[in-house]
Structure 1
């Protein structure tokens, strides 16, 4: 009976539509709701995934660094692993901030596990992109001051977490010092920052990187640049670190 009832209903509906058509009235077709349902499902998934990322960040799910660091001129050496990774970065560089966000936990884990040695080269190619000029050098100086203060891993991350916009004045020296105090800096961290202790070393490191043909692409040097065992890698390959650990780079 259910089938017959549905057939009767369909026939009546079709007859009504024919009468309306004869009177010149167009009957709108039923819309296929499937695409809208699919879109809705995709949006829900995107919201859930995005929310999970935000929750993870809010909970502070970063890998805690346990590796040690030393500094020689403007190069900070972290860890003691067999794979040597050179990272050239400018603390005002937006792409460097994205690199830190994307790979920071992976690099920290590899350092903690003794799988890599990372050499962070303090570069200042964007000094003219702050107003007044010079923030890249001042931030780099503070990062180098963070090594003897015993806080470099967390201070390095802090500088990218709080990265100012290009074209701004950047963070003041007082703000850079406050970050160190917040992270438990030891020794005369404030004096090191205020005294511009590492400015010459940063300038020399920046010039050396600019002149190194092995670090250039299309005859240009930029940040971030990463080299493994002296060979520049393509950061478009998001599995670069895993391949390095597997000996594929």
Structure 2
């Protein structure tokens, strides 16, 4: 009868023992703390109060206003020249907004934000575009502003672009849509870029308040409240004019 070969341990002094539950308790405690922080943050955000949107601030910091003061409805349009959805919005609704303003049905206040600068190849397309249309607003008429506004969106850099328009190229573009020499010089020099940035930041704060802490472009406000469906074509403009809220 053969003898059984004894089992040899690598560590003969090893004594098996139950795993301590202390580590598990620590991990559970950390998990509970993280969950508590998340829930607490959500509750805090839900209960946070935001100031009302100030119409006077929006009026003062609009880059350009199209339409008569007597128009029955005032809309605030928030855009960023580097925002691809804003380009889509301009293509879909730009003409409808301009036509409604010209017909006296709407008063449109354009707010050019600059928070997407760093997503453009030059890190400044939003700001320089805002400065360019501000030059047009100060030195030219509504038609020049409208055409330049649309042209800057049409020329906006896409996500895979290697470059975007220089100030000189923006000035040249302004000339093709009828801008006078004073406007072109203003754009080429970047004379109103800093002012456009400051106006954009002030308008952005009002948008932040209206959306309860969220900033997104494009956004349209009527009486300080967001309008829905603005990227579903231009039907929202007709709905608004016909007496619907569009909300």
SS at 1:141's partner residue?
Answer: helix
User: 1:93 offset after TM fit, Å?
Assistant: 0.9
The CA distance in 1 between the partners of 2:209 and 2:90, in whole Å, is 22
SS at 1:86's partner residue?
Answer: strand
Give the root-mean-square deviation of aligned CA atoms.
2.2
Q: Does 1:83 align with 2:83?
A: no
Q: Does 1:240 align with 2:236?
A: yes
Question: Is the alpha carbon distance of 1:237 and 1:122 closer, same or farther for their aligned partners in structure 2, counting shifts above 3 Å?
Answer: closer
Deviations 1:69-89 (A, max 9, x none): xx9655200011221010011
Q: Does 1:149 align with 2:140?
A: yes
The CA distance in 2 between the partners of 1:236 and 1:223, in whole Å, is 11
User: 1:189 offset after TM fit, Å?
Assistant: 1.7
Higher RCO (CA < 8 A, seq sep 6+) = 2
The CA distance in 2 between the partners of 1:105 and 1:91, in whole Å, is 17
Residue matched to 1:197: 191
Deviations 1:18-77 (A, max 9, x none): xxxxxxxxxxxxxxxxxxxxxxxxxxxxxxxxxxxxxxxxxxxxxxxxxxxxx9655200
The partner residue of 2:203 within 175, 199, 209 is: 209
Total equivalences in the alignment: 178
In structure 2, stretches of 5+ residues that fail to align are 1-58
User: 1:180 offset after TM fit, Å?
Assistant: 1.3
The CA distance in 1 between the partners of 2:238 and 2:226, in whole Å, is 15
User: 1:237 offset after TM fit, Å?
Assistant: 7.5
Instruction: Indicate the larger mover: 89-98 or 232-241.
Output: 232-241
SS at 1:165's partner residue?
Answer: coil
User: 1:234 offset after TM fit, Å?
Assistant: 1.6
Deviations 1:86-121 (A, max 9, x none): 001111110001001111221122112110000001
The CA distance in 2 between the partners of 1:181 and 1:145, in whole Å, is 12
Q: Does 1:163 align with 2:156?
A: yes
Question: Is the alpha carbon distance of 1:168 and 1:129 closer, same or farther for their aligned partners in structure 2, counting shifts above 3 Å?
Answer: farther
1:1-249 equivalences in 2 (<5 Å): 74-80=62-68, 81-147=71-137, 148-150=139-141, 151-166=144-159, 168-212=162-206, 213-216=208-211, 219-235=213-229, 238=232, 239-249=235-245
The CA distance in 2 between the partners of 1:103 and 1:245, in whole Å, is 14
Taking structure 2 as the reference length, the TM-score comes to: 0.65
